[in-house]
Structure 1
Amino acid sequence: MFKIFFISIITVVTVNAQLTIPALSPTSKTTQTVGLTEIKIEYSRPSKRDRIIFGENGIVPYNDLWRTGANAATKISFTDDVTIFETIIKKGSYAILTKPGKNTWEIYFYTYKSGNWNTYVDQVPIATFNAKHIKLNEILETFLIYIDQITLDSSQLIFTWDQFKIALPLKFDTHKKTMVSIEKTISGPSNFDYFQAALYLHEAQTDLDKALAYIQKVTKAENPLFFQVYRESLILADLDKKPEAIVAAKRSLELSKKAKNKDFIRLNEKNIKKWSR
């Protein structure tokens, strides 16, 4: 009898151990590259579920310190230094706590040490930022942190939930890091390296003369590709060298036809027409 009872207990425990339920605030891991910098955000995402979120009667009262999510501390990591407003944040990992207000938020960065957000409450943050509360026209059910407004050297860190949105401007020294890489590589570059260097300088609209010099090392070499000659035409046009740009575009057009690339055929024909006016 005892043996049967013992087996029954084991069976019940085993069944209970297999129980799986959905998380009310599921974890999220977001990775975004801005320029040459990787940003990783790890946090939990609570949902509104018909509750008042912010304010006197909300689950997050105004001017109360909030973990900025749920469960563990919200963590953000940068592979390079980042400037937020005028403050430089060194590369590394940080816990983010916030103090939502009626019109503005205070955002606190702490050197990340633990997933327990309470360990940061009595610490002095390494940086504090103030950002205005933007009212949204629609209701966002689930809390979200993401990177938006991405350029080669900047972006925004967005916090949004319910009918609010907070944006922190992020700035990276992409150009300096890229130029170091370019100069290092150019000491023994391939045509691909020259093309990549020209592509970056042209897209950044920086030092177009150097961009032209780099791309022409490729286009004047043996067997350039249609998209490389196409880039040369764009750089020439931006340098206001339209006759030369047209010559390059016609050359790219012929190469595009040989490669049977309809997209670049169309782009070259459009540019030739535009620059010939």
Structure 2
Amino acid sequence: MKKVFTLALMAVAMVFVTETSAQEFSGLDKSPMDAASYPSDYKVSDKAVRIIYSRPQLKGRSLAELAKPGEVWRTGANEAPEITFYKDVNFGGQDVKAGTYALLTIPGEKEWTVILHDNLNQWGSYFYKEGGDVARVSAAASSDEKSLEAFSIAFKEVEGGVHMVMGWDTTRVAVPIMM
């Protein structure tokens, strides 16, 4: 009798284990989340700036289809990127207090408008209202011979700070951040 009870208990346990292991997990995001920071050295705990963003891919489409010229764009995919300044900075010529902001842009042929906004956790730019702008700066758009399939953000060290460089396809846009 004891063996029958033990076998029955094991059978019930197996049902629960099977149910638990049958949990469905989502696949990889088509526009994976990424982060860039300065300094980028993981040994340095005193970060100056970090951005978390999603990286859409061209997949045969044009940059103008995905980031329409003259329209507010979420600057990536999914949620609007969040940029955190760990100390007060000068962002493209405007003083900005330490804090976390949404990063939005308005693409243009020769220059982009780059916006720091106070509405965090926003999906895309659908709920953008200009009144929430913390800073709005112009940045020249340039071209590179190398095409980037995935939207990318990196920091390039310069004297007195960094340039936040956004790149996609052959377009490059750099915003100076002085610390």
Alignment-derived partner of residue 133 in structure 1: 141
* 2:63 maps to 1:53: yes
Deviation at 1:102, TM superposition (A): 1.2
Query: In 2 relative to 1, CA 37–82 (structure 1 residues): closer, same or farther, beyond 3 Å?
Result: farther
Q: TM-score, normalization: structure 2?
A: 0.78
Deviation at 1:121, TM superposition (A): 1.1
* 2:151 maps to 1:143: yes
Q: Deviations over 1:210-240 (max 9, x none)?
A: xxxxxxxxxxxxxxxxxxxxxxxxxxxxxxx
Measured on the aligned residues, the alpha-carbon RMSD in Å equals 2.5
Larger relative strand fraction: 2
Deviation at 1:37, TM superposition (A): 4.9
Q: What CA distance in whole angstroms lies between the structure 2 residues aligned with 1:19 and 1:85?
A: 42
Among 7, 26, 38, which residue is 2:32 paired with?
A: 26
The 3-state SS of whatever aligns with 2:66 is coil
The 3-state SS of whatever aligns with 2:121 is coil
Any stretches of 5+ residues in structure 1 without a counterpart? 1-10, 173-277
Alignment-derived partner of residue 3 in structure 2: none
Q: Deviations over 1:108-160 (max 9, x none)?
A: 11125324344651242121111111011121011001111244x31101110
Q: TM-score, normalization: structure 1?
A: 0.52
Q: What CA distance in whole angstroms lies between the structure 1 residues aligned with 2:149 and 2:124?
A: 23
Q: What CA distance in whole angstroms lies between the structure 1 residues aligned with 2:110 and 2:52?
A: 26
Larger relative helix fraction: 1
Query: In 2 relative to 1, CA 19–93 (structure 1 residues): closer, same or farther, beyond 3 Å?
Result: closer
* 2:73 maps to 1:66: yes
Alignment-derived partner of residue 246 in structure 1: none
Matching residue's letter, 1:116 = W
* 2:44 maps to 1:44: no
Q: Deviations over 1:153-207 (max 9, x none)?
A: 31101110011000001111xxxxxxxxxxxxxxxxxxxxxxxxxxxxxxxxxxx
Q: What CA distance in whole angstroms lies between the structure 2 residues aligned with 1:93 and 1:82?
A: 12
- Bigger Rg, which one: 1
Tell me, yes or no, if the aligned pair for 1:75 and 1:112 is still in contact at 8 Å.
no
Tell me, yes or no, if the aligned pair for 1:37 and 1:80 is still in contact at 8 Å.
no
Identity %: 25
Alignment-derived partner of residue 100 in structure 1: 107
